[in-house]
Amino acid sequence: MEAKAISLWTVDGKGSVARASGSHASLHRTPPSTEPTDPTRPHGDPDALRYLVAGGESELPNLLQLDSLDEKGTAIDGLRDIALVQIPCPAQVKAEACAVTAPIRAVADDIDKLHPLVRRRSVRAKLGGALRLHGKGLQDLVRVTGPRRSALGAIERYRTKLRFVFVRASPGGAPPVGGTDAGAARLALQTREQAGSLWGACGITFEGGPLRMEIVDPPPAHLLSVGCGHGLPASGGTIRFLADRKRFAVSIPAGTRPDAAARRVAQALRARGLSAMVFDNPRMAAGAGGSSDITVSDRRGKPIALLPDPSGLSEDITMRTCIGHVNLEDGLQHFGDIDAVVGTLEERTLLRAIDDGDPQTIDVVLVPGFGRGGRIGESFIGADGGTLRNIVVIDRAGIRGGRASFTLAHELGHVLLDDPGHPDDFGIDTPTRLMDADASDPTAFGPRRLSIGECERALRQSGPKAPLPLMAPWPLELLPR
Ligand SMILES: [Zn+2]
């Protein structure tokens, strides 16, 4: 009898039938919805799959078992005794009899799994892992990947590297979260996994490598900003300050622009054995021109504190000069609409000391808190054209907010999408979208969803073909036996 072997197939939302072993389960992107009733019709869900068993009428199992495995092959979740309903076999399945399951959802976490609408047919799954289906006379693996269909084809799996930098409130103090260094490392791991669980819906993970993490003191006042404020040219004067117990007096002719003045200062510093780097800031919304920053360090790269000369930093009445200070005890002064592109002086002083110059890693900077309430995270992205990019700043509340807020996943979204905007900026409130600006619902209908358009945009803006790739393909590896 030819129908002896039982075969397993998948049926997607459009009704396409494929061999289970060559098919992929994609992590769920849409909120819970009611179960479709007619098993012979396309169920319409872009991610869920029905599993179809085919074989001789008397051999078909009545129930299927499902184990969800991570990529080490360890079971992380499962569904027991999944009901099978007999249907006529689809055209491409040559068998005496066929039966299908309800559409099964592979989801990121318990919030999605335990919602009453979908509880019966949802299983926690991990990008790069697999769903192992078994029943009477049958065992098959379906790997878990990103979306099966997109304008750019199937999205299997990509990885993005993160570097966590925890900034203490004061030198030698405790890390901003976690209590101890070990506690901070645990939180970093958890947060990285949690952000990845949502981005897994686009086939993107942040977990493809060991945790990179540093705990650092706030930097000294190592940054001098020329043209701070409005970026106006000089009326003529002298910039006077102290660095490394040396006195500096750099004369600036009338008409000099901040970028040229900054280079004069840098030259003076280098001439006396110090390292100086110049960064030209883009123009602020209200500024006449851009300011330029100079960071000062010793030969080994250790930032050096700057002090204004007792007679004053500069007497120039148009081109102002400022020294940046980081004081996290009163919160980090964060950018507003006017200086969003440039960052505040305090932010630049902090972030330029932290930046390791690796443009293909996203720096995740954790600070004790932001000044002026409300904000818990912000991002510096390439589209802004600033000299700070691919940096996310999160405060204690953004981490403590935990699963309810997904602050890191949201801010990473700005960087990967290279877009400072939010879908609700245009008046359409979509509180289930991860990139919604103001949603904070801790349920399965909270801000946690990524659209297929966002997955495609992340791949275009930050994928391997982008000018500055932040995502590298990470092909699936064979599961250990
Ligand atoms: Zn945002």
pLDDT 10s digits, 115-158: 999 999 999 999 999 999 999 889 999 999 999 999 999 999 99
Q: From the CA of 377, how far away is ligand 1's center (Å)?
A: 8
Q: Residue 404 Cα, ligand 1 centroid: separation in angstroms?
A: 15
Phi and psi at 311, nearest 5°, equal -85, 0
Helix axes 452-462, 407-417, angle to 10 degrees: 60
Query: Among residues of the chain, what percentage have pLDDT more than 90?
Result: 75
Dump pLDDT digits (tens) for 356-411.
Answer: 888 899 999 999 988 876 678 889 988 777 788 999 999 888 777 555 458 899 99
Cα 407 to averaged position of ligand 1 atoms, centre (Å): 9
Task: Check pLDDT > 80 for residue 338.
Answer: no
The rounded Å distance from CA 413 to ligand 1 centre is 8
The predicted pLDDT at position 148 comes to: 97
State residue 402's pLDDT score.
Answer: 57
When pLDDT is averaged across residues 48-62 and rounded to a whole number, the result is: 95
CA-based radius of gyration for the chain? 28
Is-contact 187 400, C-beta < 8 A?
A: no
Strand pairing class (237-243; 246-252):
antiparallel
Say what the pLDDT of residue 229 is: 77
Tell me what percent of the residues of the chain surpass a pLDDT of 70.
Answer: 96
State in Å: Cα 359 to ligand 1 middle.
21
Rounded mean pLDDT of the chain?
A: 91
In the predicted model, is pLDDT for residue 56 greater than 80?
A: yes
* Nearest residue to 448 (alpha-carbon basis) of 429, 430, 431, 434: 434
- Give domain limits for the chain: 2-145, 153-216+350-481, 220-325
Q: What top-level class would CATH report for the domain 153-216+350-481? A: alpha beta
- H helix intervals, 99-219: 110-113, 181-199
DSSP string, 334-366: ---STTTTT--HHHHHHHHHH--S-TTEEEEEE
For residue 215, report the distance from its CA to the centre of ligand 1, in Å.
25
- Predicted model pTM: 0.93
Segment 232-288, tens digit of pLDDT = 999 999 999 999 999 999 999 999 999 999 999 999 999 999 999 999 998 876 667
Q: What is the DSSP letter of 411?
A: H
Asked if residue 39 lies in contact with residue 50, where contact means CB atoms within 8 angstroms, the answer is: yes
Give SS3 for 262.
Answer: helix
Q: What is the distance in A from the centroid of ligand 1 to the CA of 203? A: 21
In the reported structure, the alpha carbon of residue 379 is separated from the centroid of ligand 1 by a whole-number distance in angstroms of: 8
Neighbouring CB atoms inside 10 A of 320's CB total: 19
Between the CA of 434 and the centroid of ligand 1 the distance, in Å, is 9
**Ligand 1 center from residue 33 Cα (angstroms):** 27
